[in-house]
Amino acid sequence: MQLVTWNVNSLKMRLPRVLELLAEHAPDVVCLQETKCEDAAFPADELAAAGYHAVHHSAGRWAGVAIVARAELALEDPVSGLPGELRDDEARWIEATVGGVRVISTYVPNGREVGSPTFVEKLAFLDAAAARVSALRSDGGGGAPLAVAGDFNVAPADVDVYDPAAFATSTHVTGEERSRIDALLQAGGLVDAYRVLDPDGAHFTWWDYRQGHFHRGLGLRIDLVLVSQRLAPALERVGIERDYRKGTKPSDHAPLVAQWAD
DNA sequence: ATGACCGTCTCAGACGGA
């Protein structure tokens, strides 16, 4: 299976680049974040013309997540929302079973400032995510493996940050956030798929639009695909498609592609 | 290339993003 996760920063603005990705990679599944797309405006027809269908969780102008799959692959048992999240109107979590894998697309709250109300919401969201993957792990009757993909808004280690000193007082790097990523992995029996094949490399998935950060190599690795441990030996490729951060109307995030043998 | 972001909702400027 080939799975892509991509924070598109508006599906409406990014649709040409999304269709480009579908044509180039022909992925089985694409997890999208920040669709910023009302239900009525969701581009189902354009995706269908490309041979894909989708389930979508919308909050209107902000956030929004979707799971897109090849039309031949059913999107079974879709569930929107995360039990225990403090803001259940923000559309940050969606699940569906695709090809025997329980796939989740998530957009973790940014947190803005350490200690702010939204930072508290971010930590609570990560706690709720850990509880949810623990439940999915234990009650999976058929033992469906998990793929939790999305924009976690946490850089798991200092190597995932272009300048750790510059982030000394920032969100995305605190012990509180990183320990919750570790707890999420533990709760779900998951591994960070990117690190399975590249244990040490400094490679990023997000670069600020401002000040030429992309061209200066100043980014963060905050987009992750977390897979059940039993999938780890089957991983064939986990790569960041940097070219999608270039060209006409790029998102500030690059797609992350994970491929494993079925 | 010596300056410097993008998208949303609304229509000049706020708000969110990380």
Alpha helices in A189-244 (DSSP H): 193-197
Q: Would you write out chain A's pLDDT as a tens digit for each of its 262 residues?
A: 999 999 999 999 999 999 999 999 999 999 999 999 999 999 999 999 999 999 999 998 999 999 999 999 999 999 999 999 999 899 999 999 999 999 999 999 999 999 999 999 999 999 999 999 999 996 554 579 999 999 999 999 999 999 999 898 899 999 999 999 999 999 999 999 999 999 999 999 999 999 999 999 999 999 999 999 999 999 999 999 999 999 999 999 999 999 999 9
CB A38 within 8 A of CB A58: yes
Q: Å from A12 (CA) to B8 (C1')?
A: 11
Helix A175-188 with A117-139: angle, nearest 10 deg: 10
The domains found in chain A, sorted by start residue, are: 2-260 (3.60.10.10)
Owner of token pair 């403090």 = A86
Residue A175 has φ and ψ, to the nearest 5°, of -60, -35
Q: Closest nucleotide (CA of A14 to C1')?
A: B7
CB-proximal positions of chain B, under 7 Å: 3-9, 16-18
Cβ burial A103-134 (10 Å sphere, 16+ → b, else e): bbbbbbbbbeeeeeeebebbbbbbbbbbbbbb
Q: Closest nucleotide (CA of A172 to C1')?
A: B18
**Token representation of residue A198:** 């590249």
**Which distant-in-sequence residues (6+ apart) come within 8 Å of A198 by Cβ?**
A238
